[in-house]
Amino acid sequence: MNTGTTLQSQLEEFHRRMGEVLDLNATNSLLQWDQETYMPPKGAEARAQQQATLSALAHRLFTEPAFGGLLRSLSSQRDALSDDQAKAVEVALYDYENETKLPGAFVHEFSLLQSKAYQTWVTAREQADFSAYQPVLKRMVEMLRQKAEYLGYEGTPYNALLNEYERGMTVDTLKPVFAQLAQEQSTLVKAIVESPNQPDLGWVDQPWDVDTQWDFTIEVLRDIGYDFDAGRQDRSVHPFTTNFDLADVRITTRLHERELFSALTGSVHEGGHALYEQGFLESDRRTPLAEAISLGIHESQSRLWENVIGRSPQFWTHYAPRLRERFAALQSVTDEQIIRAINAVQPSFIRVEADECTYNLHIILRFELELALIEGDCQVEDTPALWNEKMKQYLGLDVPDDANGCLQDIHWSHGAMGYFPTYALGNLYAAQFMEVIRTDIPDLDSLIEQGNFSPLLQWLRTRVHQVGRRKTPSELVESVTGDGLRVEPYLNYLKKKYSELYSL
């Protein structure tokens, strides 16, 4: 037998099957995109069927024992493969092993529970009634504990859930990091709230033509490097990014007439996600390497563009005059008023509306609560009380009802525990990357003042985007910064920026 030919035909089979699975997943994403943008409401029922069929098909193709055998065989011959081939096989085998750990009956029951939990959550939130949601959440926590047992873990079962979203991350790593963030950020927020130097926000509260807002988002997206020939922007209730290929990465944003900045910050956030996905290597197309490393790394890209760049004084030195050209009502508003308004800090109940200074506190609260639920230190019925106690502790707020408290997020109804920490990790990674970027591009501030983002984008392309899934999150952070996860870069960034804004 000619092993060269055998290896060659195995590789062809690997790429053929991987390509089919990725095509089905991309098609499913396209249906999802349509559902959230243009699908008429009555299409929902048939759409749910179509999506379920496509996911089942993709799952079946990917988890076939024969395909697992092929992956193992290729993996055992890795010395004969190129580095990229070996990596693609390794990543596919990792996914294969994860997807086949859960028994079919469990997956089926879990997906039934997800739809039931989602529907129950929607009504419970509308009526601010946690007791209606409690039984289904209790069952969800039980099933998540079971899931952790199937997936396997070291230390706490929460690690198995965390690993689904941020490979290799553990509670032991997060705990001290979050404890320091909680302590220092709540101290900072307190100082900001008590500062006599509060921003003037009165001028923001007036109507802002939504078409003009839209045109401005397009201008900024083009400037930062989003390729409209390989993507498009549409409108949706919740902004999101989706991709079907690196040459078709779509984003959405929201438009509210009385909010001047919500469309722009939504667009730049999703634009950051999209630049990542448009930046994968052409040669990785239709392989598992043309994918994001983790949710935390994905979020580092969106938050870097939205917050670190898009809310910086340098960015507004360039864009305030451009925004003023579009809105006559801004003639008497200064650059400084714009900068202070877009960086206004205000403790509030709702995570998705939170500013940069309070955002991580919302995440830490959820992490602590999820961990206690999974470890059995908190009973499901005690969730509201514990939530409200932590809101008081971290943000000094009294939660008026559960709709503004523990019922606000969709995540738990989907069975997504271990997901929230990735948002905070995105903030930390972004700040760590920025320290290196500032060393490598010393004139970054003046480039941004000129609206020149291409050196920054080029840096992100080569150091982060093109890596694809060749590294784990911690390997990427290590390779870029020479260090592990660190909290100081983010805290230094926040303290410097907000001390100046609020004259602390």
Cβ proximity to Zn ion: between 267 and 302 the closer is 302
User: How far from each other are the two terminal CA atoms of the chain, in whole angstroms?
Assistant: 76
Amino acid at residue number 12: E
For 137, other C-beta atoms within 10 Å of its C-beta total: 22
Which residues of this protein are in contact with Zn ion, per CB under 5 A?
302
- 77 burial (CB, 10 Å; 0-12 / 13-18 / 19+) is middle
CA distance 485 to 431: 10
Nearest to 460 by CA among 265, 245, 271: 271
Cβ proximity to Zn ion: between 296 and 313 the closer is 296
Please give the residue whose beta carbon sits closest to Zn ion in the complex. 302
Pair 93, 72: CB distance under 8 Å: yes
Residues with Cβ < 8 Å from 282, sequence gap 6 or more? 246
State how far the alpha carbon of 130 is from the alpha carbons of 137, 381, 408, in Å. 10, 9, 11
CA distance 281 to 297: 17
Q: How far is the CB of 10 from Zn ion (least distance, A)?
A: 38
Task: Give the single-character DSSP code of 305.
Answer: I
Q: How far is the CB of 107 from Zn ion (least distance, A)?
A: 27
What are residue 154's DSSP bridge partners? none
Cβ proximity to Zn ion: between 242 and 302 the closer is 302
CA distance 459 to 397: 41
Cβ proximity to Zn ion: between 160 and 434 the closer is 434
> CA angle at residue 50 from 45 to 51, to 5 degrees?
100
State how far the alpha carbon of 488 is from the alpha carbons of 231, 484, 485, in Å. 36, 12, 10
Nearest to 405 by CA among 389, 381, 417, 421: 389
Q: How far is the CB of 122 from Zn ion (least distance, A)?
A: 22
Q: How far is the CB of 254 from Zn ion (least distance, A)?
A: 13
Cβ proximity to Zn ion: between 128 and 457 the closer is 457
- Indicate if 270 belongs to the active site: yes
Cβ proximity to Zn ion: between 14 and 359 the closer is 359
For 132, other C-beta atoms within 10 Å of its C-beta total: 16
SS3 state at 75: helix
Return the H-helix or E-strand segment holding 64: none
Nearest to 414 by CA among 14, 28, 147: 147
Cβ proximity to Zn ion: between 320 and 434 the closer is 434
Nearest to 258 by CA among 155, 329, 175, 172: 329
Cβ proximity to Zn ion: between 159 and 302 the closer is 302
Pair 335, 320: CB distance under 8 Å: yes
Q: How far is the CB of 238 from Zn ion (least distance, A)?
A: 10
Q: How far is the CB of 143 from Zn ion (least distance, A)?
A: 26
Tokens describing residue 394:
């971290």
Cβ proximity to Zn ion: between 386 and 464 the closer is 464
For 131, other C-beta atoms within 10 Å of its C-beta total: 11
Q: How far is the CB of 300 from Zn ion (least distance, A)?
A: 10
Nearest to 232 by CA among 461, 33, 458: 33
Q: How far is the CB of 356 from Zn ion (least distance, A)?
A: 14
Q: Which of 166, 270, 306, 370 is catalytic?
A: 270
> CA angle at residue 129 from 124 to 135, to 5 degrees?
75
Q: How far is the CB of 233 from Zn ion (least distance, A)?
A: 15
Among left, alpha and beta (phi > 0; psi -120 to 50; other), residue 89 is alpha
Q: Which residues are catalytic?
A: 270
